[in-house]
Amino acid sequence: AQRVTQPEKLLSVFKGAPVELKCNYSYSGSPELFWYVQYSRQRLQLLLRHISRESIKGFTADLNKGETSFHLKKPFAQEEDSAMYYCALGWANNLFFGTGTRLTVIP
């Protein structure tokens, strides 16, 4: 069965410090992985998807099939990055979400 694990409920980093939000998945096929973000008082929105291999707002995420991970990284955190981040696994047009990590960037 498909499963997404985000081990950290809360993560605090100082402005300018690197940040890594962890995501591990369990899925027998080829995974479709996403990061969604929810800023305060805003809708949940797509941040990036593994198939695009893109950098959005300075964030990148690499799919590591050997470690079944899709960690989200940014070299220098900004205050506006404070938000709730969800890793999600796509399957048959549905999304299976992890429990989320609340990132706080300390000025």
Partner 1 sequence: NAGVTQTPKFQVLKTGQSMTLQCAQDMNHEYMSWYRQDPGMGLRLIHYSVGAGITDQGEVPNGYNVSRSTTEDFPLRLLSAAPSQTSVYFCASSPPLGSYNEQFFGPGTRLTVL
Provide the 8-state DSSP code for 64.
B
Q: How far is CA 22 from CA 41, 77, 82, 92, 107, in A?
A: 24, 15, 16, 24, 22
State which of residues 51, 58, 64, 75 lies at the interface with partner 1 (CB under 8 A).
51
Residue 96 as a binder of partner 1 (CB under 8 A): the answer is: yes
Residue 17 as a binder of partner 1 (CB under 8 A): the answer is: no
Range in contact with partner 1 (rule: CB under 8 A) among 15-23, 40-48, 65-73, 75-83: 40-48
Q: What angle do CA 15, 44, 6 make, to 5 degrees?
A: 65
Residue 26 as a binder of partner 1 (CB under 8 A): the answer is: no
Taking the alpha carbons of 47, 50, 55, 60 in that order, is the dihedral positive or negative?
A: positive
Residue 27 as a binder of partner 1 (CB under 8 A): the answer is: no
Q: Which spans of this chain sit near partner 1 (rule: CB under 8 A)?
A: 4, 6, 9, 32, 43-46, 49, 51, 86, 90, 92-100
